[in-house]
Amino acid sequence: MTPLTHSKETPSTSTQAVVFEFNNLEDLYGVLNLLELRREYLFSEIRGFHNIPDNNELLVDFQMKNPPHNLDIAWERRLKHLFRYMLDLEKLMWNLSTLGGAYSAMGDFNTDYAKTAAKITAHQISLAKKYGDPVILARCYLYTALAEAQLGHLTQAVSIVRAVRHWSKQNPNTDIVQRCCEGVYQKLRAIHIFGIAGSNK
């Protein structure tokens, strides 16, 4: 592979190189998956593991070779742990998303379900921060907006959606977030017109 360069916004004062050798395709594919989906997270872990400061440019070289004589056992264990950790987070995140969606749908008819949906979303936000994907985190905040609207806090819900939409317009690859914002806006308009669950009791 061609060595990868990673640097922060601040000017680099020096360059530090790190070489990782792989002797099986499973580990290499795991790194490539993290590199594609969680690039900044992977580089931050490499910097932390090797104590490389942010103001230094990082040059990472991934090499696939025959079994070397001196395996980097510490990094191999760390990498496998990170890979399993990210998979577990992703599985838990989507399980909560399915469960939260069900409670959110019922929140249109009973505010107790909306309260439960809000609690589930709070857990999702915590996981999304660990997951390191700003798009998923933004969508979780939109789930919070829906729950707040169902509980009668429409002004707060609108403020959340506006903040998320402003963020999405300032960052690349956030088209899905902008579409989600429009969908949530339509939901908020419906709640504004028809009221919240239990308002007619």
What would the pLDDT profile of 21-62 be if each residue is shown by its tens digit? 777 777 777 788 777 777 888 888 888 888 888 888 888 887
Q: What is the mean pLDDT of residues 183-190?
A: 94
Please answer whether residues 58 and 46 qualify as being in contact, where contact means their C-beta atoms are separated by less than 8 angstroms.
Answer: yes
What is the structure's pLDDT at 200? Answer: 43
Q: How many distinct structural domains can be found in the chain?
A: 2
Instruction: Tell me, yes or no, whether 57 and 98 share the same domain.
Output: no
Instruction: Tell me, yes or no, whether 65 and 102 share the same domain.
Output: no
Chain centre to alpha carbon of residue 16: 28
Instruction: Tell me, yes or no, whether 62 and 97 share the same domain.
Output: no
**Residue 21 within any structural domain of the chain:** yes
Instruction: Tell me, yes or no, whether 178 and 89 share the same domain.
Output: yes
**How many helices (H) and strands (E) in the chain?**
7, 3
Instruction: Tell me, yes or no, whether 67 and 89 share the same domain.
Output: no
What is the structure's pLDDT at 8? Answer: 64
Using CA of residue 145, residue 146, residue 148, residue 149, what is the dihedral sign?
Answer: positive
Rounded CA gap, 127 and 140, in Å?
Answer: 10
Amino acid at the residue 29: Y
Instruction: Tell me, yes or no, whether 99 and 151 share the same domain.
Output: yes
Instruction: Tell me, yes or no, whether 97 and 189 share the same domain.
Output: yes
| pLDDT tens by residue, 119-156 | 999 999 999 998 888 999 999 999 999 999 999 999 99
Q: Which residue range(s) make up the domain with 95?
A: 85-194
Of 41, 20, 23, give the one whose Cα is nearest residue 134: 41
Instruction: Tell me, yes or no, whether 52 and 108 share the same domain.
Output: no
Q: Which residue has the tokens 């609108």?
A: 158
DSSP strands (E only) in the chain: 4-6, 15-22, 57-64
